[in-house]
Structure 1
Amino acid sequence: MARINLKDAAVFAQHSYKPQNFTSPRIIDSLDKDDVQAHLTENGLLLLPGSNSVLDYLHYNLRVFQVGNKRYRLASSDTEHGASGTVWHQGFLVYSRKIFDWLGQRRPEIIIGHSLGAAAVQILSKSYNVPGIGFAAPRPKKGPGRVQFDDKCLSICRVDDTVCGLPPNFNHMGDARFLEPKANNWGLDHSMKNYRAILEENNGPDAVP
């Protein structure tokens, strides 16, 4: 099974906002349509950027709310069943489907994302039954129970990141690891720069399946 160091995954997630920074592995295809962004590398790494600012998220500038000219809300009533029957937040599911359709017959080996991208990581990790790592992950799944293929998905969250508690009445897919910073900056530490910093100061396993 593919494995990746969490600190390396965080570097990939941060660089996904500026794909020109990638020299290895080489990006072979990118999606930028209907406010959906994704990058696929030559070794099957699927990178999903989101929003580096919690203020963008809270002000509804996060792209998921304007997918294909349709606006989505962070409401507990806005849900839809996926192909497996799992109930997801509708906006996150629509976003993930656009990435799924873009990939076509291609199958990622590992999926890494941040913020909105981390919401899509949780859905697509289940869709492909492949490892997924999401940083600053919102909660896309309706219902608290475990579902099939959620054992390969990990969400890395800061306890001082408001986005990790949104939407209300939803849950993370798979396992969510909440990291406590030495200095709490409640509600504002959402950027990948802050997630890379907390990985440096926290001890614990640094690789996941």
Structure 2
Amino acid sequence: MHRYPIATAALLAEASYTAKKHASVKSKIKDSLDEDDVQAYFLTNGVLLIPGSNSVADYIRYNLRMIGLGKTRYRMSDEIYQPGASGTIWHQGFLAHAKVIYDWMERKNYKANYIIGHSLGAASTQILTKSWGVAGIGFASPRPRKTRGRVKNDGFCLCINRDDDMVCDLPGTFHHMGRVHRCKAKRSVFGPDHAMKHYVKVVEEQQEAGLMTKKWP
């Protein structure tokens, strides 16, 4: 099982939003996906990097939402799930997002040895670590799984969630995959606390305090 430094994973997740322009990442991109409002990067070291929501279309297609758009109302609901190929019951938006990435990787015959994602990307990270049986880290992870109890390949993903980030507790009756590490930041963020820069900081704080291991798994 491939191990990866958590602090480095956090920096990669932050850089994923500008990966093609980011000085330390762009030269490591073997291939990239931009299809159906899904973005992902397959790096030369075998890491699959999945950014989160970066457009209104992402929220409409994939995320939890409580907005009105024209005559269509998108609302937060626990009744939005469907079975995946594994038989596990998933949030249908998160499953649809993960499937675009899964199909791309399969078409290209790429084999990820590690997966890193943030937000919507963390939801897909949880699904794909189970699908491929590889380790991964999801930052600011929502809950993608409806099924209760343990399932096969449940333990490959580490979900790193701030305790002041409400997205990590949604949808309310769903569940995370793998292990959840809830981080209490030294200082709560005023305003949005979901951004990766806040997760980079809290990982640093947790590791300095000896509350978080250096690598996963």
Normalised by the length of structure 2, the TM-score is: 0.85
Shift in Å at residue 3 of structure 1?
0.6
Pair 1:154–1:6, CA change in 2 (3 A): same
Cα distance between partner residues in 1 of 2:186 and 2:57: 28
The reply to whether residue 144 of structure 1 matches residue 148 of structure 2 is yes
Cα distance between partner residues in 1 of 2:159 and 2:91: 17
Hey, what does 2:31 align to over in structure 1? 29
Shift in Å at residue 152 of structure 1?
1.1
Shift in Å at residue 66 of structure 1?
2.1
Shift in Å at residue 114 of structure 1?
0.2
Q: Identity percentage over the alignment?
A: 47
Cα distance between partner residues in 2 of 1:187 and 1:165: 17
Shift in Å at residue 43 of structure 1?
1.4
Match of 1:40 among 39, 42, 67: 42
Query: Which residues of structure 2 form unaligned runs of 5+?
Result: 63-72
Shift in Å at residue 51 of structure 1?
3.5
Structure 2 residue identity aligned to 1:198:
V
Of 31-40 and 187-196, the range deviating more from structure 2: 187-196
Normalised by the length of structure 1, the TM-score is: 0.88
The reply to whether residue 65 of structure 1 matches residue 60 of structure 2 is yes
The reply to whether residue 206 of structure 1 matches residue 207 of structure 2 is no
Match of 2:139 among 132, 135, 139: 135
The reply to whether residue 191 of structure 1 matches residue 195 of structure 2 is yes
- 8 A Cα contact 1:78 1:89, kept in partner: yes
SS at match of 2:48: strand
The reply to whether residue 177 of structure 1 matches residue 181 of structure 2 is yes
State the aligned residue count.
Answer: 200
Cα distance between partner residues in 2 of 1:12 and 1:129: 21
Cα distance between partner residues in 2 of 1:73 and 1:97: 23
Shift in Å at residue 62 of structure 1?
6.9
Pair 1:72–1:27, CA change in 2 (3 A): farther
SS at match of 1:16: helix
- 8 A Cα contact 1:156 1:178, kept in partner: yes
SS at match of 1:32: strand
After superposition, what is the alpha-carbon deviation per residue over 1:21-76, rounded to whole angstroms, capped at 9, x for unaligned? 15456101111111101000111100000038xxx8xxxx4715326xxx975421
Cα distance between partner residues in 1 of 2:100 and 2:44: 20
After superposition, what is the alpha-carbon deviation per residue over 1:70-124, rounded to whole angstroms, capped at 9, x for unaligned? x975421111101110000000001100001111121101000000000000000
Query: Which aligned pairs between 1:50-199 and structure 2 lie closer than 5 A?
Result: 50-51=52-53, 61=56, 63-66=58-61, 74-104=76-106, 105-185=109-189, 188-199=192-203
Cα distance between partner residues in 1 of 2:129 and 2:74: 22
Cα distance between partner residues in 1 of 2:98 and 2:163: 25
Q: Which has the larger radius of gyration?
A: 2
Shift in Å at residue 188 of structure 1?
2.7
Pair 1:32–1:82, CA change in 2 (3 A): same
SS at match of 2:155: helix
Pair 1:187–1:165, CA change in 2 (3 A): farther
Pair 1:140–1:112, CA change in 2 (3 A): same
Hey, what does 1:12 align to over in structure 2? 12
